[in-house]
A and B are shown apart, each in its own frame.
Chain A
Amino acid sequence: MFFRDKLINEEEPKLKIGFLHFSSCSGCQVAFLDMFEEAVEILDTVELVYSNMLTRQREIPFLDVAFVEGALCLEDSHHIGLIKELAEKSKLIVAIGGCASFGGVRRLSCGNQLPQPQHQSFVPITEIELLKGKIKYAIPGCPPNPSLLYSFLLALLELNDDFLQPFEFMASSKDASGFDVIAEVVNKGFCVGCGTCATACPTRAISYNENCGKPTFNPSMCVHCGSCLAACPQSFKPYPQPVYS
């Protein structure tokens, strides 16, 4: 793994992590807090050095792993500065949640709302060229489950490639809506009708149709969080796109 040597520093055994907030509801940080007692188990190996919600630190220190939630608002100068700082001060970036990874609910925003009508355009951080080399993983969900964040953090500490690989795929994927489940799984004849996508969907945009034994999709309710395709048991092998070889 490319960051193995970068991450392990014998003088400072604790991994310095930080949470950076862009345009989002902060639900991903709340999900991190929802780990409760499980989080305590990893606190001896991890040090939370920066978070706009959880620490008093004003200035962003150097981070081993930066967890980023939210999409970049192009009209917000604070966000632009934060992106530059992130590129400079972090060794590895993990995009958490639909907004940071795929655009999420921000894809549906056209801005022009009070109190900041100038905020109109939003881009997921995975699409920012400046961060391309550093964004290694994207975690789907709106918000991601605390159990997923916990397992992910453990896998990151243990450098568990088997676990991390799908999230590496997702960092370069744009398949995040129910349409992708239909196109990649149902239309290609892989859907077994297990209903995992429907249970994973946070907005009930995907429901299960008893008559055909397959999922049906309501696009008006989809927030592009990527949970459905990521949860589908048939999806990961050809993730992000199927391999025609």
Chain B
Amino acid sequence: MLSLNERFLLGSYKKVFLAKSSGKNPIKVFFKLMLKKGLIDGILTCGEEEGRPVPSLFLKAEEVKISLLNRCFGVNTLLKRAVQKYRLSKLAVLAPSCMFDGLNKTQYFGIGCNWTKTAVALKVGLLCMGALTETAQIAEITHITGKRKRVKRVFFGSGALYYETDDGESVEVPPRVHHSYTLTACRYCLNMSAKGTDITFVPKENPEEGLFIVRSERGWYTLAQVQKLAPGELKLKAAPKEEVESIISCLREKTLLNINDILERIELGLPVPKWSDNKLRKFYRAWNSVEDTNLEEEVF
């Protein structure tokens, strides 16, 4: 029996911080500082090219460009380049939970990319209510506003997902509408808050603000190191309880829709996503993070 409580929806965490940086996206500042100070030697994420998100590998702090949209695909295509070509050993990855599924599997089994197990220094997850392609996003925003617009930024506000459009308007995205436009696989996702990562990042309405949900010892230590090395650039304070509750209520609504879709598949007699079966026992339980608290400790 699944209980849609905080532990299931958000997973276990040490503390939630409200991060603020002057004039820049806090996650970008965080990664830039880490690269500058040598805490990591590369960032694997969805970057930006002419306003479009593209899988990117950044090796220099000045090159870092992080996509502000929920269209993060194909990050793992650059894994071989990062680990085998550039021989990076302190790689940081910023992506939604599904990308980490692939990365975790590669780390655990070694299929796909050589020696990935020891190459990743930090996993930063993105709170993701479902990814969608550019075309689907244009259709979605047209559905909601009645006008054809382009989405510039995605953020989480008072208990809902919001889009900032190219004309500067903030549009609330109803979960049911978003659910119908996302990728099919995202409709079965039960790990929207990226459980199993070191830190989960949640973008806020103010572009200079964001929530850092610190989960692991490694995440805590890295954040402390960044604070120590550059105390003024990223200001952290404990996030108010309401912030966390608003995210939970947003996740709960979407999770219910996802569970409904999973049950529908079962009813149709179609194969269901991996969470419902424990063929691979311990690994799958940990992987799906349904029962276990820390994927990292469980799997590796």
Query: Would you give the shortest CB distance from B101 to chain A, in whole angstroms?
Result: 4
B2 beta carbon closer than 8 Å to chain A: no
B232 beta carbon closer than 8 Å to chain A: no
B79 beta carbon closer than 8 Å to chain A: yes
Chain B residues, Cβ within 8 Å of A149: 110
Q: How far is the CA of A192 from the CA of B70 in the complex (A)?
A: 13
A234 beta carbon closer than 8 Å to chain B: yes
Q: Is the interface of A mostly helix, strand, loop or mixed?
A: loop
Query: Would you give the shortest CB distance from A36 to chain B, in whole angstroms?
Result: 11
- The residue that A236 contacts in the complex, of B71, B185, B280, with Cβ under 8 A, is B280
- The residue that B111 contacts in the complex, of A189, A230, A237, with Cβ under 8 A, is A230
B98 beta carbon closer than 8 Å to chain A: yes
Q: How far is the CA of A151 from the CA of B269 in the complex (A)?
A: 36
A-B CB contacts (within 8 Å), total count: 162
Within 8 A of B (CB), among A186-202: 188-196, 198-200
- The residue that B101 contacts in the complex, of A140, A227, A233, with Cβ under 8 A, is A233
Chain A 94-116, CB within 8 Å of chain B: the 1/0 string?
A: 00000000000000000000000
Chain A residues, Cβ within 8 Å of B102: 194-196, 231-233
B59 beta carbon closer than 8 Å to chain A: no
- The residue that A193 contacts in the complex, of B74, B104, B135, with Cβ under 8 A, is B74
A3 beta carbon closer than 8 Å to chain B: no
Nearest B residue to A184 via CB reads B271
A162-B282, A213-B183 as given contacts; A151 in contact with B54, CB under 8 Å: no
Chain B 269-294, CB within 8 Å of chain A: the 1/0 string?
A: 11101100101111110000000000
Q: How far is the CA of A199 from the CA of B79 in the complex (A)?
A: 7
Contact in complex: A148, B77 (CB < 8 Å): no
Contact in complex: A231, B106 (CB < 8 Å): yes
B109 beta carbon closer than 8 Å to chain A: yes
Size bin of chain B's contact surface? 35 or more
Contact in complex: A192, B183 (CB < 8 Å): yes
- By CB atoms of chain A within 10 A, which of B74, B98, B99, B106 has the most? B74
Contact in complex: A147, B74 (CB < 8 Å): no
Contact in complex: A194, B109 (CB < 8 Å): no
A147-B110, A212-B133 as given contacts; A195 in contact with B76, CB under 8 Å: yes
B114 beta carbon closer than 8 Å to chain A: yes
Chain A residues, Cβ within 8 Å of B188: 189-190
Q: How far is the CA of A208 from the CA of B75 in the complex (A)?
A: 10
A147-B117, A199-B113 as given contacts; A165 in contact with B183, CB under 8 Å: no
Contact in complex: A166, B109 (CB < 8 Å): yes
A146 beta carbon closer than 8 Å to chain B: yes
Nearest A residue to B271 via CB reads A242
Chain B residues, Cβ within 8 Å of A152: 110
Chain B residues, Cβ within 8 Å of A148: 109-111, 114
Contact in complex: B73, A195 (CB < 8 Å): yes
Binding site for B on A (CB under 8 A): 140-141, 144-152, 161-163, 165-166, 188-196, 198-200, 208, 210-213, 227, 230-234, 236-238, 242-245
Binding site for A on B (CB under 8 A): 52, 54-55, 71, 73-80, 98-99, 101-106, 108-117, 131, 133-135, 183-189, 269-271, 273-274, 277, 279-284
Q: List 11 additional contacts besides A145-B110, A213-B73, A238-B271; criterion CB under 8 Å.
A: A145-B114, A147-B110, A189-B184, A194-B75, A194-B99, A199-B76, A208-B74, A211-B135, A233-B105, A243-B277, A244-B270
- The 10 A-B pairs at the shortest CB distance, nearest first, are namely A196-B102, A148-B110, A200-B112, A195-B77, A189-B184, A242-B271, A233-B101, A192-B98, A231-B112, A193-B73
